[in-house]
Amino acid sequence: MSPMVAPLPNLYGLDRQELAAALAPLGVAPYRVRQVHRALYRRDALAPEGWTDLPTSLRAAIAGRFRVVRPGIVGRTAASDGTVKYELGLEDGARVEAVAIPADGRMTFCISSQVGCAFGCAFCMTARLGFRRHLDTGEIVGQVAALRAETNVDQGAYNIVFMGMGEPLHNFDALERALRILGDDLGFALGPRRLTVSTVGLPDRIRALARVDPPPRLAVSLVSADPDVRASLMPVARRHSLDELAAAIRDYGADRRDRPTLEVVLLAGVNDTPEQAERLARYAAACRAKVNLIEFNPTPELPFAPASDDTIERFLGQLVRRGITATVRRSRGRDAFAACGQLAFLDAVTGAPGARGFSGPRARRGSRETPRCSDTPTAS
């Protein structure tokens, strides 16, 4: 048996400072570090041999010491409204989901932060997977690179929302580095208004996110402003009170032009009553937050039904009459996708083999597999 050879360290996912440290033993000058950063994240050039603005000897030295690998697309499902859900393969065989949602000439990429999730929300299929592992920084920003390449979107025409599989603030260090790379002028060059982090509501981590420079937009999956209803749907509500959460949200929004958003997925007979709307209006006012009402995407595995159109309109009207800025987000890709995490869940319970779809200089050839059915996240 041949001895196990440790893989070379992955350059993909390092921010500028980390790249400088990793390349220091090669005597790389700061402007060369910037060139490498630009090649990785701006140009999505994964083969060092193709970095022709660098000397041949340096390219060879980098290729000999590092691998450059990011997630690659292994499956895609298109809905009739133009939404496409992608399944991305990671080096260890795990898979995550990301969704491209076109609207008004722009694209929104919804990306994942973990494989599975530890937070157990009752209305979410990813919760059924349990927590598998955190994504590293390269696996997070690599989803954006993969979808950007796939959709051929213009540099200025897409936004990112962290609403895929996992709780982004539970994977804070990787998220923080990812935000740095996504915002870097020589990276993805996405301003803070184009980046939204959606969370189940972890007050301490929301405060930590506020210290990121610059902080992204914040969305909190509230679901209900009634503590009993929230606790019955979201176990995290037993650890953090609504008051504690409201203070963190209010502080996050202070001194910012973008008010935080409260996300409320409306479940028939659970959180869609006039009394729930009244509580939500009071809570949103106290947080100085906007409200986004979300249609639930039903799936047989979850014991919930979407609120009716009439109920959603009535609920929305009640909020607006109370002076709350509120919108309804219609469920996208409804004809093709089910609720959050369904494909991963089905594969986990049926033992379907994980596709390997990472992208790197060698992996690029033939890394795409037959499109398969998957689902859309409604997570975090």
Q: Binder to ligand SF4 among 12, 109, 119, 172 (CB under 6 A)?
A: 119
110, 121, 124, 340: the catalytic one is 340
| Helix or strand run (H / E) with residue 103 | strand 95-103
Q: Binder to ligand SF4 among 62, 101, 124, 233 (CB under 6 A)?
A: 124
Q: Does 167 bind ligand SF4 (CB under 6 A)?
A: yes
Cα 209 to Cα 258: distance, rounded to the nearest angstrom: 14
Please count the residues of this chain forming the interface with ligand SF4, following the rule CB under 6 A. Answer: 15
CA dihedral 112, 159, 281, 304 (to 10 degrees): -40
The tokens 């033992």 sit on which residue?
A: 351
> In angstroms, what is the C-alpha Rg of the chain?
21
97, 139, 167, 263: the catalytic one is 97
Q: Does 162 bind ligand SF4 (CB under 6 A)?
A: no
Region 18-57 residues binding ligand SF4, contact defined as CB under 6 A: none
Q: CB of residue 80 vs ligand SF4: minimum separation in angstroms?
A: 25
167 is catalytic: no
Return the range that interacts with ligand SF4 (CB under 6 A); candidates 64-72, 165-173, 188-196, 323-331.
165-173
373 is catalytic: no
Q: CB of residue 6 vs ligand SF4: minimum separation in angstroms?
A: 32
Region 274-303 residues binding ligand SF4, contact defined as CB under 6 A: none
Q: CB of residue 52 vs ligand SF4: minimum separation in angstroms?
A: 42
Q: Does 117 bind ligand SF4 (CB under 6 A)?
A: yes
Structure-block tokens of residue 210: 């506020």
Cα 113 to Cα 291: distance, rounded to the nearest angstrom: 23
Structure-block tokens of residue 166: 């996992």
Structure-block tokens of residue 185: 């002028």
Q: CB of residue 340 vs ligand SF4: minimum separation in angstroms?
A: 6
156-180 b/e with 16+ CB inside 10 Å = b? eebbbbbbbbbbbbbbbebbbbbbb
Cα 296 to Cα 171: distance, rounded to the nearest angstrom: 26
Name every residue whose Cβ is closer than 8 Å to that of residue 211 and which is 6 or more positions away in sequence: none
Q: Does 161 bind ligand SF4 (CB under 6 A)?
A: no
Binding mask 76-115 for ligand SF4 (x = CB under 6 A): ----------------------------------------
Q: Which is nearer to ligand SF4, 200 or 293 (CB)?
A: 200
Return the range that interacts with ligand SF4 (CB under 6 A); candidates 34-42, 80-88, 100-108, 160-168.
160-168
Tell me which amino acid residue 209 is.
L
Q: Binder to ligand SF4 among 108, 126, 143, 159 (CB under 6 A)?
A: 126
Q: CB of residue 35 vs ligand SF4: minimum separation in angstroms?
A: 37
Q: CB of residue 170 vs ligand SF4: minimum separation in angstroms?
A: 8
Q: Binder to ligand SF4 among 22, 23, 127, 291 (CB under 6 A)?
A: 127
Region 321-340 residues binding ligand SF4, contact defined as CB under 6 A: 340
Q: Does 379 bind ligand SF4 (CB under 6 A)?
A: yes
| C-alpha distances out from residue 154 to 294, 325, 332, 348, Å | 28, 30, 22, 36
Q: Which residues pair with 291 in a beta bridge?
A: 262, 326
Return the range that interacts with ligand SF4 (CB under 6 A); candidates 122-130, 145-153, 269-277, 284-292.
122-130
Name every residue whose Cβ is closer than 8 Å to that of residue 131 and which is 6 or more positions away in sequence: 114, 116, 117, 118
Under DSSP, is residue 282 helix (H, G, I), strand (E, B) or coil? helix
- Looking from the CA of 77 toward its CB, the CA atoms found within 13 Å total 18
The tokens 């609720």 sit on which residue?
A: 339
How many residues in the chain? 380
Which are the catalytic amino acids? 97, 340
Interacting residue ranges for ligand SF4, rule: CB under 6 A:
117, 119-121, 124, 126-127, 165-167, 200, 221, 340, 379-380
